[in-house]
A and B are shown apart, each in its own frame.
Chain A
Amino acid sequence: MFFFVIRRLLAGIPLIFLVFLGIFFLVHAMPGDPSDFYIKPESPPAEIQLIREQMGLDKPLLVQLGKQSWNYAQLEFGKSFSKNVDVSKLILEALPNTLMLSALSLFLIFTLGTLMGILSAVKQYSFLDKGITLGSLFLYSMPSFWLALMMVYVVAHWFPSWPISGMVGETIRMKEAAIAESAMLNLPLPAGVAVGFWERIVDSLQHLVLPAIALGVAPAAGVARYARSSMLEVIRMDYIRTARAKGLPGWKVIFKHALRNSLIPIVTLLGLYLPFLISGAVLVETIFAWPGMGLLIVEGIFLRDYPVIIANGLLLSCLVIVGNLLADVLYGVVDPRISYD
């Protein structure tokens, strides 16, 4: 297993380099130029040239490519054109937020999806099965941005106390401001401004729920369909019949004997969903003002921020590789017959 993982990771390196080449040339082929943002109405050509020099865009493309490849090999991602800070810093700021969101979404996708799939399969052709099938098809075909907008609208009007944007609630934000203010102006700390640990956790979870649902519902519906058909296949097998014949209760047959085998195709989906959750969060993060990777990527693209686009592109491709690797490793966990030698 260990060597398998190492082998796969090493094989990923040339793949990542190819992805880098692809993104590099695509980014430079995009219409528009990052230096456009700095050009003034009467900028003389010499000034435009200076701007391009400062941004490193004056060199021939291949020279830029060579320099950037060397920098990336040393894990130096350069400075963002638009935000004036290291790209790695931007990613480190945004990545935890996105991972939080993705983790909750993944949890939703797989628990909810698998449960719906199992229920559907166990009660095949029942009213429940038909309801779940209809519901999951409905949710599967619903664009996440539309669902997100509807959630914003409904929650804002019917549950106005529930947060619909950002990461931190107003009580904590105001307390934080009061704390910062007293430190800056040397004022005594007002009573009751301390932010408790659990207060923060509950607040974060409240803010996570809507974007996680918007992001996870459609894939959960997809997982439900896969889980249903997989489970249907498994529960018709002889060993399930044997389990039933020896008098095991129904739930034990399903959850102990059938579930593990029916999970194999679902695990494949994990590898697919991991990068999707980050790239697919672009619209959801925009709507819920969730400061994650999606927002970073979309801003980078709009502002032609080459270092941000390339670094994020590489990160996503790494996630694809890791996601697939994770899926392969999990095959072994759910199916001991699979060997990695």
Chain B
Amino acid sequence: MNLPTRHASLWLGSFAASLLLFGACDKDQPGGGPKGSGKAPVVGGDNVPDGKDSGDTLVWAVSGDADGFLPTVGETATGGAMMDLLMPNVTQSGFEDGRLSFQPAWASSWEFSEDKKHLTLHLRKGILWDDGEPLTAKDLAFSYDLIGNPKSNSPRRPYLDNMDAEEPYTVLDDHTIRFNYKWAYNPQTMMAHAGMNPVPEHLLRDADPAHLREHDLNIKMPVGHGPFRLLDWKRGQSIRITRNPACKTLKVPYIQRIEARVIKEYATRMAELEKGAVDLMEGIEVKDIDRLRANSDIKIYRRGYRFMDYIAWNQTIPLFQDRRVRRALTMSLDIPKFIRSYLTTEGGEVTALPAYATVTPELSDFKEEGFQLLSFDTKKAVELLAEAGWKDSDGDGVLDREGEKFVFTMLTNSGNPRRKKMGVVVKEELGKIGVHVNLEYLEPNTFFGKLRQKDYEAAIAGWSAALFPDPAVMWMTETKEKPRAFNFTGYSNPEADKIMREMRKTADIVKEQKLMKRLLRIIYDDQPYTFLFWRAEYFALHKRFRGVHPNVLSVLYQIEDWWVPKSEQRYKF
């Protein structure tokens, strides 16, 4: 959804227990039961990186500002990206061949207990906070204390959901901490839940958890331990960070500085990029891809499928309770044609993929080759609707049943041209089979509120990809005791519930894959959404930057490897 920044990040943040909000964070060892080991990262110490040239500034145009720099309460995408550089996670992320992986960072190694219910992290000694205090396991435990305190209202509180309520973690010594889980589940997710960015206990122990968001460490001068330090933050204008030569958690970067400039307007960001005043820009629209590719100063990178669009059918109203109706509506829409018409560049590059689930196709573990999609077949759709009792009995061109016309209102958020086009296409295509759609565009917050309260009939909306997908967030049956704020459609299927409960307690990746594939089939067959398409994310970067590895995790993925040859460096100061 085109929501304001805070909302957008909440979108990411709450999509699953772990999220892309802190994209470049924490991943696993493939195959389950990861046992971390291996060398510590290349340590910078007081040295600048060897070999490649160091220096220059990366000017990054961002559409939204940060809300602060304290990982326990941060909610915005820009803030999250900065925090990953200022106070990185316990482990360093990787994403290769569709799988997440964890590399040592602050944690030099880790192991699971035999019953897979305990994860012990071994933290490297000699790591210091920016103020010279040592970074210890107590800091990590304290960070979890804070997110567990209801007063702090932390968006990362779900990290604790599957941990033991009495003793979620045990500090074994200054450099060893054990996380205790209620049950074993996906080891990647378990690792992610244990790997949040730490906060300094010695500076926050007296802080009131209810006022963390107003704390100086959040809104003025964060204290971290990462490869960058905050130089200054001009609210609404820019965030500047500089390379930290004393960093011992990760490799010291080649790039001297990063300046995130807040430019809300897409057209202005694009103009700044094309004239060379900005080096990096995300979210490149389809219409601009070919032109930018022709620009010799800019390189375009494709990061993979990160966003999906869907049509939600509200099943709490009688109109959409019959699954035959929902299937018929999907079969009336030519989704590949929409992709060809609106999500393909003039040069023929296809930027989207028909979707069959809310799990990104980037995750090879859960991807199913040859998934049978409902075909575009209006004849069959009309038959299905007739089976469900919808026929044009009075010949006015609109289907009816027991005196009720098949007319509904479809909402979407304003300010999103793609969804607007989609709405028009849906109206036109459904009109051909006798279904009348009224389109309504709402201000994003109002739209989101209506979805949450299920105060709508149908809606075109979207999700961002979660790399630790937990389908229960949007598909588990909602009850009073267990509200599911993001089960917008009121979907309920006992068989799906059973699988989701089982998945939450499955540590065996192979078994989880099978369960997930079965679940996605059930949900797709029920069509609570018409799954439209996954869209690939593109970013543009000035060509002088080398060592870039485009990745679905984060636009600044492995920023410590980016470098610019001395002769091409633009900023001398």
A289 touches B265 (CB 8 A): yes
Q: Return A172 CB to nearest CB of chain B, in Å.
A: 10
| Bound form: Cα–Cα A299–B446 in Å | 15
A165 touches B272 (CB 8 A): yes
Q: Does B438 contact A (CB under 8 A)?
A: no
| Bound form: Cα–Cα A173–B229 in Å | 17
Q: Does B407 contact A (CB under 8 A)?
A: no
Q: Return A309 CB to nearest CB of chain B, in Å.
A: 13
Q: Does A166 contact B (CB under 8 A)?
A: yes
Which A residues touch B219, using CB under 8 A?
A: 83-85
Q: Per a CB cutoff under 8 Å, which of A30, A83, A166, A180 touches B235?
A: A83
Q: Does A50 contact B (CB under 8 A)?
A: yes
A50 touches B153 (CB 8 A): yes
| Bound form: Cα–Cα A156–B277 in Å | 10
Q: Per a CB cutoff under 8 Å, which of A45, A176, A184, A286 touches B229?
A: A184
| Bound form: Cα–Cα A202–B106 in Å | 47
A41 touches B257 (CB 8 A): no
Query: Chain A, 78-108, contact with B by CB distance < 8 Å: what is the 0/1 string?
Result: 0100111100001001100000000000000
Q: Does B452 contact A (CB under 8 A)?
A: yes
Q: Per a CB cutoff under 8 Å, which of B155, B238, B245, B274 touches A156?
A: B274
B75 touches A37 (CB 8 A): yes
Instruction: Indicate whether A303 sits within 8 Å of B6 (C-beta atoms), given known contacts A32-B448, A156-B272.
Output: yes
Q: Return B47 CB to nearest CB of chain A, in Å.
A: 14
Which A residues touch B259, using CB under 8 A?
A: 173, 177
Looking across the interface, which residue of chain B has its beta carbon closest to that of A168? B237
Q: Does A302 contact B (CB under 8 A)?
A: yes
121-156 of chain A: CB within 8 A of chain B: 149, 152-153, 156
468-486 of chain B: CB within 8 A of chain A: 473-474, 482-486
Interface-centre pick from B261, B262, B275, B449 (highest chain A CB count, 10 A): B275
B235 touches A33 (CB 8 A): no
A177 touches B275 (CB 8 A): no
Query: Chain A, 151-188, contact with B by CB distance < 8 Å: what is the 0/1 string?
Result: 01100110010011111101001111110110011000
Looking across the interface, which residue of chain A has its beta carbon closest to that of B242? A181
A82 touches B445 (CB 8 A): no
Which B residues touch A184, using CB under 8 A?
A: 229, 231, 242
| Bound form: Cα–Cα A28–B242 in Å | 42
Q: Does A228 contact B (CB under 8 A)?
A: no
Q: Does B263 contact A (CB under 8 A)?
A: yes
Task: Determine, out of B210-218, B331-339, B359-367, the stretch whose residues face the partner at the interface.
Answer: B210-218
Q: Per a CB cutoff under 8 Å, which of B158, B231, B274 touches A177?
A: B231
Contact residues of B: prevailing secondary structure: mixed
Q: Per a CB cutoff under 8 Å, which of B4, B231, B474, B485 touches A39?
A: B485
A291 touches B236 (CB 8 A): yes
Q: Per a CB cutoff under 8 Å, which of A32, A45, A156, A287 touches B445?
A: A32
Q: Does B10 contact A (CB under 8 A)?
A: yes
| Bound form: Cα–Cα A180–B239 in Å | 13
Which A residues touch B436, using CB under 8 A?
A: none
Q: Per a CB cutoff under 8 Å, which of A31, A90, A192 touches B446?
A: A31
Q: Return B482 CB to nearest CB of chain A, in Å.
A: 7
Q: Per a CB cutoff under 8 Å, which of A37, A40, A287 touches B265?
A: A287
Q: Per a CB cutoff under 8 Å, which of B153, B271, B572 touches A51?
A: B153
B449 touches A31 (CB 8 A): yes
Q: Return A249 CB to nearest CB of chain B, in Å.
A: 48
282-338 of chain A: CB within 8 A of chain B: 286-289, 291, 295-296, 299, 302-304
B231 touches A40 (CB 8 A): no
Query: Chain A, 59-91, contact with B by CB distance < 8 Å: what is the 0/1 string?
Result: 000000000000000000001001111000010
Looking across the interface, which residue of chain B has its beta carbon closest to that of A288? B268
| Bound form: Cα–Cα A279–B568 in Å | 43
Q: Return B433 CB to nearest CB of chain A, in Å.
A: 32
Q: Return B147 CB to nearest CB of chain A, in Å.
A: 11
| Bound form: Cα–Cα A51–B235 in Å | 25
Q: Per a CB cutoff under 8 Å, which of B67, B231, B262 touches A82?
A: B67
| Bound form: Cα–Cα A152–B158 in Å | 44
317-343 of chain B: CB within 8 A of chain A: none
A152 touches B271 (CB 8 A): yes
Q: Does A339 contact B (CB under 8 A)?
A: no
| Bound form: Cα–Cα A156–B272 in Å | 7
Q: Does B565 contact A (CB under 8 A)?
A: no
| Bound form: Cα–Cα A303–B67 in Å | 12
Instruction: Indicate whether A84 sits within 8 Å of B213 (C-beta atoms), given known contacts A166-B263, A180-B231.
Output: yes
| Bound form: Cα–Cα A94–B571 in Å | 29
Instruction: Indicate whether A303 sits within 8 Å of B4 (C-beta atoms), given known contacts A173-B238, A177-B231.
Output: yes
| Bound form: Cα–Cα A153–B262 in Å | 19
Q: Does A190 contact B (CB under 8 A)?
A: yes
Instruction: Indicate whether A174 sits within 8 Å of B571 (C-beta atoms), given known contacts A32-B445, A50-B153, A83-B67.
Output: yes
Q: Does A238 contact B (CB under 8 A)?
A: no
434-449 of chain B: CB within 8 A of chain A: 443-446, 448-449
Query: Chain B, 226-267, contact with A by CB distance < 8 Å: what is the 0/1 string?
Result: 000101101111101010010000000000010101111101
A40 touches B449 (CB 8 A): no
Instruction: Indicate whether A42 sits within 8 Å of B484 (C-beta atoms), given known contacts A37-B7, A181-B257, A302-B4.
Output: yes
Interface-centre pick from B231, B261, B486 (highest chain A CB count, 10 A): B231
193-225 of chain B: CB within 8 A of chain A: 210, 213-214, 218-219
Which B residues touch A299, using CB under 8 A?
A: 4
| Bound form: Cα–Cα A149–B277 in Å | 17
Looking across the interface, which residue of chain A has its beta carbon closest to that of B273? A156
Q: Per a CB cutoff under 8 Å, which of A37, A168, A178, A190 touches B10?
A: A37
Instruction: Indicate whether A54 sits within 8 Å of B57 (C-beta atoms), given known contacts A32-B449, A165-B268.
Output: no
Instruction: Indicate whether A174 sits within 8 Å of B57 (C-beta atoms), given known contacts A32-B449, A84-B68, A304-B445.
Output: yes
Q: Return B409 CB to nearest CB of chain A, in Å.
A: 16
Instruction: Indicate whether A37 sits within 8 Å of B6 (C-beta atoms), given known contacts A32-B449, A166-B263.
Output: yes
| Bound form: Cα–Cα A302–B1 in Å | 14
Instruction: Indicate whether A178 sits within 8 Å of B573 (C-beta atoms), given known contacts A38-B155, A302-B444, A302-B445.
Output: yes
Q: Does A233 contact B (CB under 8 A)?
A: no
Interface-centre pick from B150, B276, B445, B486 (highest chain A CB count, 10 A): B445
Which A residues touch B214, using CB under 8 A?
A: 79, 84-85
Query: Chain A, 20-58, contact with B by CB distance < 8 Å: what is the 0/1 string?
Result: 000000000011110011111111110100110010000
B245 touches A289 (CB 8 A): no
1-38 of chain B: CB within 8 A of chain A: 4, 6-7, 10, 13-15
Instruction: Indicate whether A152 sits within 8 Å of B449 (C-beta atoms), given known contacts A184-B242, A302-B444.
Output: no
Instruction: Indicate whether A160 sits within 8 Å of B14 (C-beta atoms), given known contacts A39-B485, A303-B4.
Output: no
| Bound form: Cα–Cα A54–B73 in Å | 14
Which A residues touch B151, using CB under 8 A?
A: 50, 54
Q: Does A13 contact B (CB under 8 A)?
A: no
A177 touches B267 (CB 8 A): no
Sample (19) of A-B pairs whose CB atoms are under 8 Å apart: A40-B157, A40-B485, A41-B486, A42-B482, A42-B484, A44-B483, A82-B67, A84-B214, A152-B268, A156-B272, A164-B271, A166-B238, A173-B259, A177-B231, A178-B573, A180-B240, A185-B242, A302-B443, A303-B6
**New contact pairs (20) apart from A42-B158, A174-B57, CB-CB < 8 Å:** A32-B448, A32-B449, A38-B155, A39-B485, A41-B15, A41-B474, A47-B153, A54-B210, A84-B213, A84-B219, A152-B267, A153-B271, A156-B274, A157-B274, A170-B59, A170-B277, A175-B573, A180-B231, A289-B263, A291-B235
Q: Which 6 A/B pairs are nearest by Cβ-Cβ distance?
A: A156-B271, A32-B445, A84-B213, A178-B573, A291-B236, A31-B446
List B residues at the A interface (Cβ < 8 Å).
4, 6-7, 10, 13-15, 57, 59, 67-68, 75, 150-151, 153, 155, 157-158, 161, 210, 213-214, 218-219, 229, 231-232, 234-238, 240, 242, 245, 257, 259, 261-265, 267-268, 271-272, 274-277, 443-446, 448-450, 452, 473-474, 482-486, 571-573
